[in-house]
Amino acid sequence: MGKNTLIGGSIWEEYSQKVQDLMNHPKNMGEITEEQAKADGCKLIVADFGAESCGDAVRLYWEVDEDTDIIKNAKFKSFGCGTAIASSDTMAELCLGKTVDEAVKITNIDVEHAMRDNPDIPAVPPQKMHCSVMAYDVIKEAAASYKGVDAASFEDQIIVCECARVSLGTIKEVIKLNDLKTVEEITNYTKAGAFCKSCIKPGGHEERDYYLVDILKDTREEMEHDKVQSQANEAESDLAAFASLTMVQKLKKVEKVIDDNIREMLMMDGGNLEIIDIRDTEDGFTDIYIRYLGACSGCASSSTGTLYAIEEILKEKLDKQIRVLPI
């Protein structure tokens, strides 16, 4: 089915093809009867979960081999929107062949990622991201029923928004994945803070341990730190690699740095430069011979301040063992 054939509007471009296909042709929709489970030598588990935040609900059926705890079959019924159907179908598919303990580790992030056509592009628009949370919660209910425990005992994540059942890990993941910058964007993507709003910031009707405003601030700081560290690592890698390049490769690298960082500065004063030669020396330096052009050729700073600035930029961008020599 094509991207726009469900309704014909461009809104469907926000949904992955996998989601569109599963909305109309879910693979695991249906139910499992007690008789079928017994015939297959399995225990039947039926679990329900309803999302008060949007009114959707899902029922999950498992056939579990009690000797191995492996989920041999999984079906679902979904009472909600097309995205809830696609999420529930994907959730059921992810459960197949896993032990109950392994299935409990499936998260709403796993469900959403599994529905993507492209690993870097979300499978659904922001306002539908919460549907995968419902699939995540019904697994906990099924596992709790099988083991005879409370579903809360499986919760190894901190729930920030009780209304939409959104965890701290999910919020941080979504902020980083989509480069979110505002609380409103977090709400659009996860539904956290969309209902009672007490998790947005202090002062709501219920005191919380975590608030979206603080999570956003801390996560953005983590992202900036990671970005700076990544850039530093890349720069260090580039520095180490320059010495091993061929002469032609070195020339191209030097020309790019000059074009990106130096040439415009010289041309603003009516000058320019050209690279005459690049030579590796026995003492481990790379000597770059340049000729000044235009106003730079007669400038007093061409052998002092300007020369120093050019050399420092090349050292910073390429290799600390660079010397620039004017001819």
| Paired tokens of 326 | 């004017």
| Distance from the first to the final alpha carbon of the chain | 67
| CA dist list (Å): 121 to 10, 14, 86, 113, 174 | 17, 9, 17, 9, 12
What CA–CA distances, in Å, run from 67 to 41, 63, 97, 146, 199?
10, 12, 14, 13, 43
Contacts of 34 (CB under 8 A, 6+ apart): 44
Q: CA angle 244-247-248, nearest 5°?
A: 120
Q: Which residues contact 168 (CB under 8 A, 6 or more apart)?
A: 157, 158, 159, 160, 210, 215
**What are φ and ψ of residue 100, in 5° steps?**
-60, -40
**Set 54, 95, 163, 199: catalytic member:** 54
CA separation for the pair 184, 192 (Å, rounded): 9
Cβ contact 196:205 at 8 Å: yes
Q: Would residue 296 show up in a list of annotated catalytic residues for this protein?
A: no
Catalytic residue among 42, 131, 161, 199: 131
Respond yes or no: is residue 54 known to be catalytic.
yes
DSSP state of 211: -
Q: How far apart are CA 123 and CA 111, in angstroms?
A: 10
Q: Distance between CA 164 and CA 129 in Å, rounded? A: 11
Structure tokens at 244: 């091993």
Catalytic residues: 54, 131
